[in-house]
Each structure stands twice: as structure tokens, then as C-alpha cells.
Amino acid sequence: MANSTTLDKKQTTLLEKLCQAMALSGDEGEVRSIILEEIRSYVTDFKVDTLGNLLAFKKGTSKKPLKVMLAAHMDEIGFMIAADDGDGLFRFETSGGIDLRQLPGKAVIVGKEHIPGVIGARPIHLTTSSDRRDKISLEKLRIDIGPGSNKIKPGDRAAFATRFQRAGTSMIGKALDDRLGVAVLIEILQQAPANIDLQVAFTVQEETGLRGAKVAAYFFNPDLAFVVDSTPANDLPVWDDEDNTSYNCHLGAGPAIYIADGATLSDPRLIRLLVETCKKEGIPYQFRQPGGGGTDAGAIHKQRAGIPSVSISIPGRYAHTAAGMARISDFNNTISLLKATLQSIPLDILTQERK
């Protein structure tokens, strides 16, 4: 289990399906259907709420089980068609945090039918050196699907067209943030620990402000919560060979446990539980560097009268670009960590002093 760098056929197929699906914030149906198919026969009950969260429930068998919420977000960053310029050219807006420098020259898929398109870039033959130096503004960019289709309308969504691939002990794909987390939670639901009431939220609209998690936590009203996300690994060597002190986390060093980010100070009791579990099970782990950013935990822990929460992330290079990279071992170790933690979670964890 720990350190495993292999994916079986079933996992590979699932990740491929999840990562190649398109689920922009506010329109997560495609990913939701894939998940539903995977979990339907394993859960006690489920519902899709008003915002589109898929809320799955698996009852525990012990007498007074803790209600434990798990959350991973279904949505991804991408684009929304804003206007039809004719001749297959479309103006668009970005959805979620996107660096415009990433866009020119990228292949995209557009609309429910995944119509292929490209975000055009002026070829180098025809640019001046100042063109190449300056940032290209969003107003100058277009999604080009070529003429002849009348299926795309303003309001339709688009995503990067990257196919999911295995590369040795790594995975390359779009939307690893947070389909990796989604895949982890599917696996947990399929082998749910019996000692707790498991409340699993596959959330919507995380990339636009943790919106789905907010209402999901209100509905579940859990005793505590774990969020599984993917956090950027900025662990490449620094160009001038100086010590890289802001790497956020490292690829291959195990699940990244959160202590503090811009939206949450993790519950110290839950951090300790995760660390102790890692040590006991021989699972490698790292702390995500305290700093900015946020996960669904930012919304969950402030819900109702307060919900002790912590996040675990699978490190991912090149987050919020067309192609991210993650290590299979980090993915597998996150599953192992979560599974072992849930099985061994003490009933009295919340009556312990919060320190």
C-alpha cells in the first residue's frame, strides 16, 4: 500500500474519465454522473442539492458514531463563451483563477458535446519583439472552433482539451485539481469504515469561492470534516540555484497536511491525528507550507456553530494550467492515510482540549 507507485486498470480508467470530463463551476453535471455511477450501489442514501452538490451518506454500524464529513470539489477552472463573433470565433471569459499567459495556443473543448477548438495565437513569423514581450489581454483572445457549427452559444462553458496520461510514476492531465480528490473519496466510499457515519460531499463552485461546500456543510451538520484537494507543488529548482524557500509542497513527498492557509487554521487535534496515523502506518507525509490560498475547509469550518476541519492535498505541479502533473504514490498514500485515519478516529477526539 504505502509508497505504491502503481495504478490498477480500474483506477486508471476512472481517473481518465474524471479528468477528461468537463465540469466548470456552476455546471458540474458531467462529473457528477460519473461519480454517481461509481458510488450508487455503495451508499445508504444520496441527494443532489439545490446548488448541485452530490451529497452521499453511508451509515456506520457502531452505536453512537461520529458524523464525519469528507469533501472534494467537482469543478475545475476554465472558460465561458461571452459572445459570438461569427465565423467560428468566440469571445470568452475565464472561470476561476487563470493566468492569461497560459492561454494562447491551447486546445480546448467547448460545450456539452466537447466540440474541439483552439485559443488562437499569432504565429511568431508575424509578431514583433514587443508583441512577444507584452502580455496578451483577454479582449484580444478568441476561441476558434472553425465555421459550420451553430451549436455554441454565449453562456456555454469550455475547458482545456488535455487528455489524461500516465507517465512512469506520474500522471499528467487537466483538472487534477481536484479530480484526484474526487477519486480518493470515491474509493473511500466504496470501502467505507463501519465505525463512523460517513457524509461525503462532492462539491460545486469551489474555484469561484467555496460556495458549494458552504451549503453542503450546513446540510450535513457534521461533527468534524476532512477536505481532500490538490495543492500546487512549486518545487522546481530556482533558476539562480538559490534555496527555494517557497515551494508550497513537494511532489512525491506524500500527502500535504494543512496547518494554516488563507481561509482556515486547521484543528490541531485533527492535524495530530493525521500525523500520528502516518507514523503508525508508515505513510510519508509533509506539511503544506503555511500561507495563503484556501480549500473547501474555509467554508466548512465556519458553518453553523463551528466544525473542526483539516485539509489534505495531493501535491500537483502546474495547477490551473492546461496540464498538471502529480505522482501516483502521493495519490495512493492519500487514500491510505484517509482510510487509516477514519478507521482509527477516537470517539472522544472533540472532547479533548483544542491544542
Partner 1 sequence: MNALIQKLTETFSPSGYEHDIRQVIRSEIESLADEIKVDALGNLIAIKGKSGKNGKRIMLAGHMDEIGLIATHIDPNGFIRFSGIGGLYPHTLYSGRVRFVNGITGVIGGERIKDIQKTLSVSELFIDVGATSINNCPIKTGDVAAFERPFFNMGKRLIAKAMDDRIGCAVMIEALRTLKNSPHEIYFVFTTQEEVGLRGATTSAYGIDPDIGISLDVTGTGDTPKARRMDVGLGKGPAIKIKDGRMLSDVRVVEWMIHTAEKAKIPFQREVLEGGTTDATAIQLTRSGVPAGCISIPCRYIHSPSEMVDIDDVNNATKLLVALLSNPISL
Q: Using the rule CB under 8 A, which residue among 4, 12, 234, 289 binds partner 1?
A: 289
Query: Which amino acid type is present at position 75?
Result: D
> Is residue 284 at the binding interface for partner 1, with CB under 8 A as the rule?
no
Contact segment (CB under 8 A) with partner 1 among 34-42, 162-170, 199-207, 284-292 equals 284-292
Name the residue nearer to partner 1 (CB basis): 104 or 268. Answer: 268
Positions in 55-84 near partner 1 (CB under 8 A): none
Distance, CA of 264 to CA of 251 (rounded, Å): 23
Q: How far is the CB of 127 from partner 1 (least distance, A)?
A: 35
Q: Is 187 a catalytic residue?
A: no
Going by C-alpha positions, the residue among 40, 43, 36 that lies closest to residue 59 is 43
> Is residue 346 at the binding interface for partner 1, with CB under 8 A as the rule?
no
Name the residue nearer to partner 1 (CB basis): 52 or 65. Answer: 65
Name the residue nearer to partner 1 (CB basis): 36 or 259. Answer: 259
Distance, CA of 155 to CA of 326 (rounded, Å): 31
Distance, CA of 95 to CA of 87 (rounded, Å): 24
**Structural contact between residues 200 and 296, judged by C-beta atoms closer than 8 angstroms:** no
Q: How far is the CB of 39 from partner 1 (least distance, A)?
A: 28
Name the residue nearer to partner 1 (CB basis): 309 or 329. Answer: 309
Beta-carbon contacts of 34 under 8 Å, excluding residues fewer than 6 positions away, are 14, 17, 18, 21
Q: How far is the CB of 123 from partner 1 (least distance, A)?
A: 39
Positions in 299-328 near partner 1 (CB under 8 A): 301-308
Q: How far is the CB of 243 from partner 1 (least distance, A)?
A: 6
Q: How many residues bind partner 1 (CB under 8 A)?
A: 27
> Is residue 22 at the binding interface for partner 1, with CB under 8 A as the rule?
no
Name the residue nearer to partner 1 (CB basis): 42 or 287. Answer: 287
Q: How far is the CB of 251 from partner 1 (least distance, A)?
A: 17
Name the residue nearer to partner 1 (CB basis): 61 or 221. Answer: 221
Q: Using the rule CB under 8 A, which residue among 287, 293, 323, 344 binds partner 1?
A: 287
Q: How far is the CB of 265 from partner 1 (least distance, A)?
A: 3
Q: Are strands 107-110 and 115-119 parallel, antiparallel or unpaired?
A: antiparallel
Q: Is 167 exposed, middle or buried (0-12, 13-18, 19+ CB in 10 A)?
A: exposed
Query: Given its phi and psi angles, is residue 259 left (phi above 0), alpha (psi -120 to 50 degrees) or beta?
Result: alpha
16, 28, 206, 207: the active-site residue: 206
DSSP-assigned letters across all residues of 223-288: SEEEEEEEEE---SPPTT-------SS-TTS--EE-SB-SS-B--HHHHHHHHHHHHHHT---EEP
Which residues on adjacent β-strands are paired with residue 61?
none
Distance, CA of 109 to CA of 115 (rounded, Å): 5
Q: How far is the CB of 63 from partner 1 (least distance, A)?
A: 22
Q: Are strands 143-144 and 89-95 parallel, antiparallel or unpaired?
A: antiparallel
Name the residue nearer to partner 1 (CB basis): 155 or 306. Answer: 306
The length of the chain, given as a count of residues: 355
Q: What's the Cα-to-Cα distance from 266 to each of 51, 126, 257, 311, rounded to whole Å?
A: 26, 52, 9, 7
Positions in 227-266 near partner 1 (CB under 8 A): 243, 245-247, 259-260, 263, 265-266
Q: Using the rule CB under 8 A, which residue among 97, 116, 290, 346 binds partner 1?
A: 290
> Is residue 279 at the binding interface for partner 1, with CB under 8 A as the rule?
no
**Structural contact between residues 58 and 189, judged by C-beta atoms closer than 8 angstroms:** yes
Q: Which are the catalytic amino acids? A: 206
Name the site residues for partner 1 (rule: CB under 8 A): 243, 245-247, 259-260, 263, 265-266, 268, 271, 287, 289-291, 301-308, 350, 353-355
